[in-house]
């Protein structure tokens, strides 16, 4: 039968030497990695990106919803993992990678 198109974005702290990162950086995942800058992952640099903290009760904070966001002090690796069918269906380009990293950046102070 036909293979399913699979595509995953995996966000993990940039902690070199961690067992899981060694696995994802190694040959077992090489066929599935689709980063576009030449390395095994895209790197969102420390203090240059943010994400939602996971504190779900902040979701209805109204005008103060920005407090849900956390500026990360360490780097975060973004692994784009796709099988061949996923890469054909949802190609991940250099422009996509740049846009992804830009969208993770904290807003400029007002």
| pLDDT reported for residue 1 | 47
d(CA 45, CA 48): 5
CA distances from 100 to 9, 91, 94, 95 (A): 11, 14, 10, 9
| pLDDT reported for residue 77 | 96
Q: What is the DSSP string of 96-107?
A: HHHHHHHHHSPP
Task: Supply the mean pLDDT for the chain.
Answer: 88
Q: Is 54 left (phi over 0), alpha (psi -120 to 50) or beta?
A: left
Per-residue model confidence as pLDDT tens digits over 51-88: 887 765 655 666 666 777 888 999 999 999 999 999 99
The residues, any chain, with a CB within 8 Å of residue 62's CB and separated by 6 or more, are none
Q: Which helix (H) or strand (E) holds 22?
A: helix 19-25
Domain spans in the chain, listed from the N-terminal domain onward:
7-104
């Amino acid at each position: 039968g036909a293979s399913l198109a699979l595509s995953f974005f995996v966000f993990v702290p940039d902690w070199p030497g961690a067992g899981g990162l060694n696995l994802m950086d190694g040959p077992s995942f090489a066929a599935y990695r689709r980063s576009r800058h030449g390395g095994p992952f895209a790197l969102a640099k420390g203090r240059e990106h943010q994400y939602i903290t996971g504190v779900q009760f902040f979701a209805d904070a109204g005008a103060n919803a920005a407090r849900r966001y956390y500026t990360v002090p360490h780097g975060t690796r973004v692994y784009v993992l796709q099988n061949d069918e996923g890469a054909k269906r949802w190609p991940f380009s250099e422009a996509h990678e740049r846009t992804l990293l830009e969208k993770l950046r904290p807003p400029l102070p007002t």
